[in-house]
Amino acid sequence: MTEARLPPVPETWTSQQCAEAWGVKTPTWLGYVSRGQAPPPLPGPQKRWDPDAVRDFPRPGAGRSRSAASPEVLGLLDDMAEVTTRIDELQARQRELARAGKAAGAEVRAMARALGVSPQTVYGWLEN
């Protein structure tokens, strides 16, 4: 009896493998993905990427400002990108909290003080 042959499973990469291929830290890679500066993950429950899509995607700033940078500078640039990603996440959390505050009946001025932003900023978040 002959065994049925299954088609080969295509190779996929984790976010860590993608980051290594681009020479950045994993949070930096995920920041690129969240801003549309890297290819989106493949469909499915696990975040995996097509290696060819990662290799072919035009990386932001690749080969320009980092080409002659020292390892220390490269580390600092990666840390800066990571902080930017965290700031984006925290700002999204501020908007969620403002919406929850509105639903709970909190006053806009009180929310603005607690969030460290202007009342106009809170109003803008609540409109969207």
Query: For each of the chain's 128 residues, which pLDDT tens digit applies?
Result: 566 777 776 789 999 999 988 888 999 899 899 888 999 999 988 889 999 999 888 887 654 445 556 788 888 888 888 888 888 889 999 999 999 999 999 999 999 999 999 999 999 999 87
pLDDT, position 1: 57
Name, in order, each residue with C-beta under 8 angstroms of 71's C-beta and a sequence gap of 6 or more: none
In a domain, 26, yes or no: yes
Contact 17, 50 (CB under 8 A): no
In a domain, 78, yes or no: no
In a domain, 72, yes or no: no
pLDDT, position 62: 54
In a domain, 5, yes or no: no
Side-chain half-sphere exposure of 30, counting CA atoms within 13 A: 14
Q: How far apart are CA 23 and CA 97, in angstroms?
A: 35
Identify the CA nearest to 49 among candidates 32, 64, 66, 63.
32
Residue located via tokens 């002659």:
68
